[in-house]
Amino acid sequence: MKIDQRDADAALGGEVHAHSSWTLPAALFIVAAAIAGAFYVLFTGPTVDDLQGNTTWPTASAETADVRVDNTVFRVPANYTKFRRSRSSGDAEDLPMFALLPDLTPWNAADAKEFASNAPNARVVQIVLTVDNAPLTYQDKFERGIRPRSDTPDGIPGPHGLTTYKFAAGTGYENTEWFTAKLADGSMFVMRCDAAATGNFGSSCMRVTRMKDGVGLTYKYKRVYLAQWQRIDALILGKIDKFRVK
């Protein structure tokens, strides 16, 4: 005997609820789309550095912002800044900038490749202003902890009017040369250069110093321009002085 579905349902005492045959596939599609979206954001979306404004993001805009570093305010045009976070007025632990030699030209679209170059003769200069609360200046650290390790602790005549210090293997400063000079104001110029390219510095020279207002200054450029150290130093300090809000 053939049993009607309605008779079967009545015997079970239940009710019949109609469900669309597309409900389960639709739910699976939504879940798959959400997973795919999450992977897309993970691999192609903004990184933590992007969100914090720590990704190099040059601009040709000359709009200025007043950035305070260790109680000193610098009014810096955006085209000198590396990161977007440096283009909003307020307090900052550091202020990374860059420019092109020979005249500290700010970023512009025509020179974009020059700013991105890491060639041995790349013209870009990396400049950073920082809060400097260290008990010793970089010059003091050199005198007390670095120079005594040199094979030539008294220094030997170097190029371009500089005094040179050489370091042997095992000192922690092998493959580097250090240069010093007495500046016109009586302070000491200390610069570290690499004798060969390394992962940390490349074939570059770097100066770290503390300015008179207490703000730390670090700048770095390719070693090929070492002969111009006096001019470059004066240019950078002069540019920063123009940025400083009196």
**For the chain, domain boundaries:** 5-44, 53-243
Say whether pLDDT at 217 is over 60. Answer: yes
Please state which of the ranges 93-107, 124-138, 170-184, 189-203 shows the lowest mean pLDDT: 189-203
pLDDT tens column, 95-152: 999 999 999 999 999 999 999 998 889 999 999 999 999 999 999 999 999 999 999 9
**Residue 8 pLDDT:** 43
Strand partners, 209: 217
pLDDT tens column, 24-73: 777 777 777 667 655 554 555 444 444 445 689 999 999 999 999 999 99
Place of tokens 């092109």: 100
Instruction: Measure the CA–CA gap between 229 and 227, rounded to whole angstroms.
Output: 6
Instruction: Measure the CA–CA gap between 213 and 66, rounded to whole angstroms.
Output: 17
Torsion of CA 10, 11, 13, 15, to 10 degrees: -40
| DSSP β-ladder status, 94-100 and 204-210 | unpaired
Instruction: Measure the CA–CA gap between 155 and 162, rounded to whole angstroms.
Output: 10
Say whether pLDDT at 176 is over 60. Answer: yes
Output the average pLDDT for the chain: 86
Sheet holding 124-131, edge to edge: 94-100, 124-131, 215-222, 204-210, 188-194, 176-182, 163-166, 156-157
Average pLDDT on 235-244 reads: 98
Q: Is the dihedral angle over the CA atoms 6, 8, 11, 12 positive or is it negative? A: negative
**Residue 24 pLDDT:** 74
